[in-house]
Amino acid sequence: MSTDVGTRTTTTPAGRIGDSALRPDGTLKVTGEFAYASDLWHDDMVWGVTLRSPHPHARIRGIDITEALTVPGVTAVLTADDVPGENAVGLEHADQPVLASEFVRYEGEPVALVAADHPETARRAAARIRVDYEVLPAVTDPLRAMDEDAPPVHRPGNLVRHLQLRRGDPSVTAPVVVSLDFEVGMQDQAFLGPESGLAVPAEDGGVDLYVATQWLHVDQRQMCLALGMPSEKVRLHLAGVGGAFGGREDLSVHVHACLLALRTGRPVKMSYGREESFFGHVHRHPAWLTYEFGAERDGTLVYARARTVLDGGAYASSTAAVVGNAGTLGLGPYRIPNVAVDAYGVFTNNPPCGAMRGFGCVQAAFAHEALMDELADVVGVDRIAIRQLNGMREGDRNITGQVIDSAAPVAELLQIVSDLPLPAEREDEPDLRSLPGAVGNTTHGEGVVRGIGYAVTYKNVGFSEGFDDYSTARVRLEMTGGEAVATVHTAAAEVGQGLITVEQQICRTELGVERVVVHPKNTAVGSGGSTSASRQTYVTGGAVKAACEAVRAVVLERAALSLGREVAGLRLDGEKIVGGSGEVLAGLADVLGEDAVEETVEYRHRPTHAIDPETGQGDAHVQFAFSAHRAVVDVDVELGLVKVVALDTAQDVGKAINPDAVVGQIHGGSAQGMGLALMEEVVVTDGHVRNPSFTDYLIPTILDMPPMQVKVLEYADPHAPYGVRGVGEPPTISSGPAVAAAVRAACGRALRRVPIRPEHITGT
Given the rule CB under 8 A, which residues bind other proteins?
123, 273, 275, 433, 436-444, 446-447, 638-641, 643, 678-679, 683, 690-691, 693, 695-696, 698, 700-704, 757-759, 762, 764
Kindly report the number of other CB atoms within 10 A of residue 412's CB atom. 19
CB 350 within 8 A of CB 282: no
At closest approach, how far in Å is the CB of 444 from other proteins?
Answer: 7
Instruction: Tell me the three-class secondary structure of 45-111, residue by residue.
Output: CEEEEEEECCCCCEEEEEEECHHHHCCCCEEEEECHHHCCCCCCECCCCCCECCCCCCEECCCCCEE
Of 556 and 645, which CB lies nearer to other proteins in the complex structure? Answer: 645
Of 238 and 639, which CB lies nearer to other proteins in the complex structure? Answer: 639
At closest approach, how far in Å is the CB of 6 from other proteins?
Answer: 24
Nearest by Cα to 690 from 352, 350, 280, 286? 350
Q: How far apart are CA 314 and CA 300, in angstroms?
A: 41
Of 61 and 690, which CB lies nearer to other proteins in the complex structure? Answer: 690
Of 49 and 738, which CB lies nearer to other proteins in the complex structure? Answer: 49
**604-625 burial, b for 16+ CB within 10 Å, e for fewer?**
bbeebeebeeeebbbbbbbbbb
Handedness of CA 356, 360, 365, 367 (dihedral sign): positive
Q: How far apart are CA 72 and CA 122, in angstroms?
A: 10
Of 172 and 439, which CB lies nearer to other proteins in the complex structure? Answer: 439
At closest approach, how far in Å is the CB of 706 from other proteins?
Answer: 11
At closest approach, how far in Å is the CB of 651 from other proteins?
Answer: 26
Detail the DSSP E strand segments found in 355-500: 448-461, 470-480, 483-489
Q: In what helix (H) or strand (E) does residue 556 lie, and over which residues does it extend?
A: helix 536-563
Of 2 and 441, which CB lies nearer to other proteins in the complex structure? Answer: 441
At closest approach, how far in Å is the CB of 695 from other proteins?
Answer: 6
At closest approach, how far in Å is the CB of 74 from other proteins?
Answer: 18
At closest approach, how far in Å is the CB of 690 from other proteins?
Answer: 5
At closest approach, how far in Å is the CB of 653 from other proteins?
Answer: 30
> Dihedrals φ, ψ of 477, to 5°?
-125, 130
Helix axes 659-678, 730-747, angle to 10 degrees: 40
Q: How far apart are CA 421 and CA 407, in angstroms?
A: 25
Of 614 and 759, which CB lies nearer to other proteins in the complex structure? Answer: 759
What SS3 class is residue 261? helix
Burial of 551 (C-beta count, 10 Å sphere; 0-12/13-18/19+): buried
Of 31 and 701, which CB lies nearer to other proteins in the complex structure? Answer: 701
Of 609 and 757, which CB lies nearer to other proteins in the complex structure? Answer: 757
Q: How far apart are CA 119 and CA 661, in angstroms?
A: 38
At closest approach, how far in Å is the CB of 435 from other proteins?
Answer: 9
At closest approach, how far in Å is the CB of 432 from other proteins?
Answer: 9
Q: What is the DSSP string of 643-681?
A: EEEEEEEEEE-SS-SSHHHHHHHHHHHHHHHHHHHHT--
Of 129 and 506, which CB lies nearer to other proteins in the complex structure? Answer: 129
